[in-house]
Structure 1
Amino acid sequence: MTPTTERLDELASTTLLRFATAGSVDDGKSTLVGRLLHDSKSVLADQLEAVSLASRNRGQEAPDLALLTDGLRAEREQGITIDVAYRYFATTRRRFILADTPGHVQYTRNMVTGASTAELAIILVDARHGVVEQTRRHAAVAALLRVPHVVLAVNKMDLVGYAESHFAKIADEFTSYALGLGVEEITAIPISALNGDNVVEPSAAMDWYPGPTVLEHLETVPVSHDLTDCRARFPVQYVIRPQTPEHPDYRGYAGQIASGMLRVGEAVTVLPSGRTSTITAIDALGQDVDVAWAPQSVTLRLADDLDISRGDMIAPSASAPAVTRDIEATVCHVADRELTVGARVLVKHGTRTVKGLVKDIPSRLTLDDLSQHPQPGSLAANDIGRVVVRTAEPLPVDAYAESRRTGSFLLIDPADGTTLTAGMAGHAFAAQRPAARDDDEGWDF
């Protein structure tokens, strides 16, 4: 076996961690990611040479490691991150997919995108400025998206003399705030991304800190991709009917299993119609299998000839979700235009898109003290609040706490297709919130 083959086999056996970085402008997110890639030997020679050349052209003597992730021309010219930059790297202990997200308030929507699939979020804070509004907003988004692990990276410790008391004050303030949002696990690490302190190697200047470096924590934090213990959900993406002489009666329902396991012979219910049948066959990569699990892409065949199309969901009859036309959820509004009570929207849930109406906006989260502002009437860009949406057709919506895939949805502008709001059904922050109104006046459906 060659060294290259051994390395590939080694990487194939390691676990995968998806994580996102977030923080205010100039907190050093891209520099941290660049340092992480550089010091973990995950940067190719030609990439480092290109960064060195770009840095010299900007009058910098040392390579600006932030340029390893700031790939857009506008980002390099302005010295900021605009788009989500995805990077892939690996160590001997774990493989990583990271999303470096923007810090500007107007790009918070991109942070939602980057963190939506993350198991861990690194939230950076400038040691000189401490916890600011955007820090609180990013913590709220991480809590909203139920990111299991949150790391507070107090950056630029070199600019405050590596003072332990300064770090402790910021860590205590952030931890108290994040716990109030419902974040369960918080790890605080003092770093200097520019100098590499506590990023990959321990810092000699902060020997008072006994914890792991950023990379050590990323390599050892427990993560689980096992969705097989969840209730099975199969959103139908496509109906396959080849109608060939070899398969004159073939009818299969293709899609990706969102969660759980499906077995041949299992009784299932098709939603939202409520019709029932039994799985007679499962096709995976052209082979018949007896069982399939998330996140495999498969084709199901059923015993009965039912009216099933894209947007329907197939689930075990014993654990099928309830269907509803009224969705109450916590949302992050990502569009520049406001979301108002009475607004007509499209609701995209899984592979199904239906018409909807914003029935109520019961509250908006105040980031400073986590209080709920009752009945705000509208949500502006980057606001986090509660909404009640009435849909024209029933949807099989799970609670987001039970399934990130089938508990989430998007609100879309029916006029131009703009994404307005990202919603998490049934999710609520730890703070108290007022009850939703239940009047139906003025509804067309």
Structure 2
Amino acid sequence: MREFIVEADGGSRGNPGPAGYGSVVLDAVTGETLVETYEYLGVVTNNVAEYRGLLAGLRAAHDLDPTASVHVRMDSKLVVEQMSGRWKIKHPDMKPLAMEAGRIYPPGQVTYEWIPREQNKHADRLANEAMDSGASASSVRRGAVVGASSSVRASFSVTSSAVTVTSSATTFSAAAGSSAAGPAKSPGGGAAGARSTADVRAARNVASPGWAPADMGAPATFVLLRHGETPLTPQKRFSGSGGTDPALSDVGREQAQRAAEAMARRGTIEYILASPLTRTRETAAAVADRLGLDVTVEDGLIETDFGAWEGLTFGEVRELYPDDLNAWLADPEAEPTGGGESFTATATRIAATRDKLVAAYAGRTVLLVTHVTPIKTFVRLALGAPPESLFRMELSAASLSVVAHYADGNASVRLLNDTSHLRP
């Protein structure tokens, strides 16, 4: 059985920004370079570029010998750990790429190893060449060379200008409307001009609107606004999705107006989504009227169903359903009496809603008008905190919290339970 080593890398100047990948297939016995492949990807994130580099390397190896054993070496800890099955793949952009990579070879035929960046220079150089050429001339989209003692083949996809790829054995040149060999020339200053252009594009991308300056690319930023008070709020009664669906009280309407003024002062909200319940739609409408935006109802933001506890105080539930309450406090999978929604079920729903919204609103700042349990769950999931942390967060009516979600699957909690806008 033949043995290949695949070295892959990807990069993005701006994260997300102008991006490309580079991949190398080596003979594991001789160390000979068999394939070099690179591609300019347009504007994507580092992690997407790294996964695309992995895919290209595995496909190139498969083209050589689908029965070979393959050892992948990358300096991306994320890709290596996820493809090895040690880390979960949470981000919606990563999942299909990882699944696609896993289908190229049968299970067990590919192994993964993390290596320091300095040991991945070949793939890194190709990735940077892809970014340079793509950002400067938009001409080089993909190049591949396969060189071996008995045969050499090359394949290119070129939209304009010329591309030259060199291996130790042969130099290939492909041109659109020209037969002249030689390196592709970038307009306006060559490699330096390419880097300058890429830097400008990256700067523009990072500067996209956000609640706070983006420090790891342009995240999907969720400003989480709990609805204003209802008649049940000051009485501290369970009020979920299975109850009477109360409207805002006079106090709640005033709180919604104050929240709207706070949003107007910040001036960064681009979209407004709300739970389908009356109190959240009323709160969202107040903000939307002030900002001149529309409200989109998102069912995934609805409050937990508290079953038979709806409308009761905590003390009343303890008196009527002591065993069920104790179980609910101790076990996130326990349901409120009468078939309510467990914390685990709520977390599953919120995680799915989060993933959908992160994919839809990357680089945007979105106001999510929702409830106590969904907001606490957003924060808990962002922190990677245990379910019992839900009981250790204070969340006042009409309070603001902020969570930013990045393209690599990471998250940052930027604010929790801010009520400063409610003070006169």
Q: Which has the higher helix share?
A: 2
Q: What TM bracket, shorter-length normalisation?
A: under 0.3
Q: TM-score, normalised by structure 2?
A: 0.24
* Higher RCO (CA-CA < 8 Å; seq separation 6+): 2
* Higher strand residue share: 1
